């Protein structure tokens, strides 16, 4: 039989449970408030982004959305990096200029210093004091290195005659011509055009044993664009392997053969020379048929690879970021922490750490922006 004392006990248990819930709720609210306070403090804080290519611009866009004040320091007189010089982009043949312009528009609220570099970077207890070449000085707790890549200097592969024969150009030269129509080396009506894959990539002698990842698909894209402009021309791709790893890349390859009629010849170009008419003669071996081939071309395009940006290596050394064995900037590790470094408050994004496509670069930039936000909030 329940006594008055028992009912008191039951009530007390219920009250206790209620109070426990209330206390837990209060604790959660206090924690959330503290977190919000951290976030509020972090908001409007400056984050310095070195390099205003796709990686730097996309990271700036994300940081603006998170409430920070990104400051882009770009050594050239324009944003967009290499993509600002490209024409149509694989895999969807989107307009490179439009993509850069759209990103540019979305980062109007960022501070952007063009034709500017880092002169000095002093490590402070809780961040960095960065002095720019324009005399400005910025205090920041987080730095993003998005300094990108450089194109392998094709003249270093002397056997291909870049800079010696008029009709030998690079993939970047061809993009420039697609955009401007301005290159006296490109004949008005070429009848035969060749693309040499792996120029300065997968080549120990050239000092770069890595695959540049994007040049097989770029060669196919450019070969198709040439066929569109010059339907009667014979277009050849000379390759060792075709590395077509990305979304829709195989479709491109099939289309290039079946619809555009591009010829794919598996074999290394061993010799390039010039005839009296200024045409380029290449010697190769078709390793699939086992036969040597000698082809006269009106234009030879060298697919120069993606190599590390030496100037970036210098800037990186100012913030204690090292280089990896492939020459690119060194991540904390290459599996889960590619955007982090061994240097406190310094992050990486894009081709600064190796060859990448634009979607991969943009994804990494977004990840870096989030990592910077988490870092700043937890350090507050
Ligand atoms: C010929 C060719 C065609 C391509 N076509 C495609 C395509 O169709 N689709 C695709 O997905 N990908 C393509 N790519 C790959 C694409 O170019 C890269 O993914 C993209 O450029 C990477 O952007 P990023 O910002 O990492 O580097 P970058 O474009 O190299 O930009 C880096 C920026 O940092 C600046 N910078 C460097 N050092 C410093 C410094 N010390 N201080 C200040 N600023 C600095 C540079 O001036 C530059 O503006 C192509 C690549 C090549 C070679
Ligand atoms: S992507 Fe193709 S052309 Fe470029 S380095 Fe790799 S295999 Fe060679």
pLDDT tens profile 80-99: 999 999 999 999 999 999 99
CA 57 to centroid of ligand 2, rounded, Å: 27
DSSP secondary structure of 260-301:
S--EEEES-EEEEEE-TTS-EEEEEEETTTTEEEEEEESEEE
How confident is the model over 136-140, as a mean pLDDT?
97
Atom of ligand 1 nearest to the CA of 149: 30
Q: Are residues 201 and 298 in the same domain?
A: yes
How confident is the model over 191-220, as a mean pLDDT?
97
What pLDDT does 220 receive?
A: 98
Better-scored residue on pLDDT, 155 or 14: 155
Q: What is the mean pLDDT of the chain?
A: 93
Distance CA 10, CA 13 (A): 5
Residue 120 within any structural domain of the chain: yes
Q: Per-residue pLDDT tens for 331-349? A: 999 999 999 999 999 999 9
Q: Angle at which helices 171-180 and 215-229 pack, to 10 degrees?
A: 40
Residue identifier of the C-alpha nearest atom 8 of ligand 2 = 198
How confident is the model over 58-63, as a mean pLDDT?
98
SS3 state of residue 32: helix
What pLDDT does 28 receive?
A: 62
Last residue of a domain, one of 256, 277, 306: 306
Q: Are residues 239 and 353 in the same domain?
A: no
How confident is the model over 24-33, as a mean pLDDT?
62
Q: Are residues 178 and 106 in the same domain?
A: no
Q: Are residues 53 and 137 in the same domain?
A: yes
Exposure string over 251-280, b if 16+ CB within 10 A, otherwise e: ebbeebeeebebebbbbebeebeeeeeebb
Q: Are residues 300 and 332 in the same domain?
A: no
Q: Are residues 267 and 171 in the same domain?
A: yes
Contact residues of ligand 1, CB 6 A cut-off = 50-56, 73-76, 81-83, 86, 89-90, 117, 146-149, 151, 171-172, 175, 214, 218, 306, 309, 311-312, 315, 350-351, 356-359, 361
The percentage of the chain sitting over the pLDDT mark of 70, rounded to a whole number, equals 91
Say if ligand 2 is within 6 A of residue 265 CB.
no
Residue 161 within any structural domain of the chain: yes
Residue 26 within any structural domain of the chain: no
Any idea which ligand is nearest the CA of 306?
1
What pLDDT does 3 receive?
A: 44
Q: Per-residue pLDDT tens for 262-284? A: 999 999 999 999 999 999 999 99
Distance CA 122, CA 124 (A): 6
pLDDT-based confidence at 29, cuts 50/70/90?
low
What pLDDT does 27 receive?
A: 65
CATH number for 172: 3.50.50.60
CA 17 to centroid of ligand 2, rounded, Å: 66
- Report residue 358 as tokens: 């634009």
pLDDT at 42 over 70: no
What pLDDT does 19 receive?
A: 72
Q: Are residues 227 and 297 in the same domain?
A: yes
Q: Per-residue pLDDT tens for 347-379? A: 999 999 999 999 999 999 999 999 999 999 998
Range of the domain at 245: 154-306
Q: Per-residue pLDDT tens for 115-128? A: 999 999 999 999 99
Residue 3 within any structural domain of the chain: no
* DSSP code for 340: B
Last residue of a domain, one of 276, 306, 336: 306
CA 311 to centroid of ligand 1, rounded, Å: 14
Q: Are residues 298 and 243 in the same domain?
A: yes
Distance CA 63, CA 373 (A): 8
Say if ligand 2 is within 6 A of residue 211 CB.
yes
pTM for the whole structure = 0.90
Q: Are residues 129 and 163 in the same domain?
A: no
CA 161 to centroid of ligand 2, rounded, Å: 20
Residue 144 within any structural domain of the chain: yes
Q: Are residues 176 and 250 in the same domain?
A: yes
Q: Are residues 169 and 223 in the same domain?
A: yes
Atom of ligand 2 nearest to the CA of 212: 5
How confident is the model over 11-27, as a mean pLDDT?
70
Residue 11 within any structural domain of the chain: no
Domain count of the fold of the chain: 2
Atom of ligand 2 nearest to the CA of 197: 3
Q: Are residues 129 and 183 in the same domain?
A: no
Residue 10 within any structural domain of the chain: no
pLDDT at 151 over 70: yes
Query: Which long-range contacts does 136-140 make (Cβ < 8 Å, 24+ apart)?
Result: 138/46, 138/48, 138/71, 139/46, 140/45, 140/46, 140/47, 140/48, 140/71, 140/345
How confident is the model over 25-34, as a mean pLDDT?
60
């Amino acid at each position: 039989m329940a006594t008055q004392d028992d009912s008191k006990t039951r009530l007390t248990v219920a009250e206790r449970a209620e109070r426990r819930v209330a206390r837990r709720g209060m604790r959660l609210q206090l924690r959330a408030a503290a977190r919000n306070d951290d976030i509020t403090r972090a908001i409007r804080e400056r984050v310095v982004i070195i390099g205003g290519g796709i990686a730097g611009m996309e990271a700036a866009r994300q940081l603006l959305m998170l409430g920070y004040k990104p400051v882009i320091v770009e050594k050239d007189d324009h944003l967009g990096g290499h993509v600002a010089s490209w024409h149509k982009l694989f895999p969807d043949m989107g307009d490179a200029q439009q993509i850069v312009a759209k990103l540019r528009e979305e980062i109007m609220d960022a501070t952007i210093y063009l034709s500017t570099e880092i002169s000095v970077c002093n490590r402070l207890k809780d961040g960095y004091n960065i002095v720019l070449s324009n005399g400005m000085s910025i205090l920041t707790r987080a730095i993003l290195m998005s300094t990108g890549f450089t194109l392998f200097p094709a003249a270093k592969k002397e056997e291909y005659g870049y800079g010696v024969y008029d009709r030998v150009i690079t993939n970047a030269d061809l993009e420039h011509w697609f955009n401007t129509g301005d290159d006296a080396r490109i004949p008005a009506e070429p009848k035969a055009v060749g693309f040499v894959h792996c120029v300065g990539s997968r080549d120990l002698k050239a000092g770069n044993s890595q695959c540049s990842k994007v040049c097989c698909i770029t060669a196919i894209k450019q070969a198709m664009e040439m066929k569109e402009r010059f339907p009667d021309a014979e277009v050849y791709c000379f390759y060792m392997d075709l590395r077509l790893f990305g979304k829709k890349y195989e479709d491109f390859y099939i289309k290039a053969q079946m619809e555009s009629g591009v010829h794919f010849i598996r074999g290394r170009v061993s010799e390039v020379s010039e005839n009296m008419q200024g045409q380029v003669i290449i010697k190769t071996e078709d390793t699939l048929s086992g036969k040597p081939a000698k082809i006269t071309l009106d234009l030879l395009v060298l697919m120069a690879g993606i190599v590390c940006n030496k100037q970036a290596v210098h800037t990186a050394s100012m913030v204690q970021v090292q280089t990896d064995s492939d020459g690119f900037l060194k991540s904390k590790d290459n599996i889960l922490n590619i955007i982090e470094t061994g240097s406190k408050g310094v992050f990486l994004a894009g081709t600064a750490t190796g060859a990448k496509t634009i979607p991969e670069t943009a994804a990494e930039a977004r990840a870096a922006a989030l990592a910077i936000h988490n870092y700043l909030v937890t350090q507050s």
